[in-house]
């Protein structure tokens, strides 16, 4: 479980903006980056993505889902340059092939720049500076769960091996059914208090949002067989730390999610708004 990233990079990060070289800026896409001792996972979902109840509901809805992004693998960060070694992801192609030059600004903000000058991203920390970390991998290498402080991200592989083309292109070409192409879950969840159940706030499968993440308990432990612990870091207490998410999340109401919101509004706002 040797670390491949520096201490200051570990945690959960929310992107608040990306500035492209052509002058375009995006502040609305909901983007999260989970960084463990080495393993990472991320999720990127446009604010305009529709809330649908199933795959195949309509071609336009499926096409919107096909533009979602996310991946998992290992991150290496020598000399403030992050290199992501992708293992698998939502898109069959690598979304961001460049490394990222990182400039930490205090403990809570990181600026990421492409060496080519293609983009600049601003990331805000949502977890304490030294958070607890548990990373689990299913024995068949078909899924990974990262639990960092009060946040969890589940990322699964789709059952079908796809050609290296963007999902919208494959969907338009009728390469496979919408279910075969889009049934790849990346879900981001939070818990209200230590020991409470994790509740999914954002997912590539929209109907999973506001459901409990039942795979693990409130301590981030998986008790079912067939899973191995890849990373385990106890972290340190930071009771005076206050994450200040920069963007809101228009949450759906449910009994447990309402309880989460009332107990920790900042966390809920953050989660529904990396790679």
Q: Is residue 73 domain-resident?
A: yes
In this prediction, residue 259 has a pLDDT band, given cuts at 50, 70 and 90, of: very low
Q: Is residue 127 domain-resident?
A: yes
Q: Whole-angstrom Cα distance, residue 47 to residue 31? A: 10
Q: Is residue 115 domain-resident?
A: yes
In this prediction, residue 2 has a pLDDT band, given cuts at 50, 70 and 90, of: confident
Whole-structure pTM value: 0.89
Domain around 222: 7-271
Question: In the predicted model, what is the mean pLDDT of the chain?
Answer: 88
Q: Is residue 1 domain-resident?
A: no
Name beta bridge partners: 13. 33, 125
Counting every residue written for the chain, the total comes to 275
Within 10 A of 213 (CB to CB), how many other CB atoms are there? 23
In this prediction, residue 246 has a pLDDT band, given cuts at 50, 70 and 90, of: very low
Residue 220 or 253, more confident:
220
Q: Is residue 224 domain-resident?
A: yes
pLDDT in tens, 26-60: 999 999 999 999 999 999 999 999 999 999 999 99
Q: Is residue 2 domain-resident?
A: no
Q: Whole-angstrom Cα distance, residue 270 to residue 247? A: 6
pLDDT at residue 160 tops 60: yes
Please spell the DSSP secondary structure of 129-182, one letter per residue.
Answer: SS--EEEEEETTSSEEEEEETTEEEEEE--SS---SS-HHHHHHHTSS-HHHHH
Counting the structural domains of the chain, the total is 1
Q: Is residue 134 domain-resident?
A: yes
pLDDT at residue 263 tops 70: no
pLDDT of residue 96: 77
Q: Is residue 109 domain-resident?
A: yes
CATH code of residue 149: 2.40.128.280
């Amino acid at each position: 479980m040797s670390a491949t990233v520096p201490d200051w990079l570990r945690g959960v990060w929310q992107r608040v903006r990306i500035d492209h070289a052509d002058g375009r800026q995006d502040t609305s896409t909901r983007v999260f980056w989970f960084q463990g001792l080495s393993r990472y996972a991320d999720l990127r979902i446009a604010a305009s993505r529709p809330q649908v109840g199933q795959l195949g509901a309509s071609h336009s809805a499926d096409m919107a889902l096909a533009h979602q992004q996310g991946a998992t693998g290992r991150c290496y960060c020598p000399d403030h340059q992050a290199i992501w070694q992708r293992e698998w992801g939502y898109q069959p192609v690598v979304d961001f092939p460049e490394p990222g030059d990182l400039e930490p600004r205090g403990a809570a903000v990181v600026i990421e720049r492409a060496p080519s000058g293609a983009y600049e991203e601003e990331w805000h920390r949502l977890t304490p500076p030294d958070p607890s970390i548990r990373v689990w991998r299913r024995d068949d290498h078909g899924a990974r769960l990262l639990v960092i402080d009060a946040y969890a991200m589940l990322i699964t592989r789709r059952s079908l091996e796809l050609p290296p083309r963007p999902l919208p292109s494959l969907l338009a070409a009728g390469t496979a059914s919408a279910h075969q192409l889009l049934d790849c879950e990346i879900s981001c969840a939070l818990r209200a208090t230590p020991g409470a159940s994790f509740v999914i706030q954002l997912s590539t499968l929209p109907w999973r949002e506001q459901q409990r993440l039942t795979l693990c308990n409130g301590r981030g432990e998986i008790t079912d067989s067939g899973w191995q612990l890849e990373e385990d870091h106890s972290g340190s207490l930071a009771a005076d730390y206050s994450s200040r998410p920069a963007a809101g999340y228009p949450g759906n109401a449910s009994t447990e999610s309402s309880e989460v919101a009332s107990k920790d509004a900042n966390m809920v706002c953050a989660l529904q708004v990396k790679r």
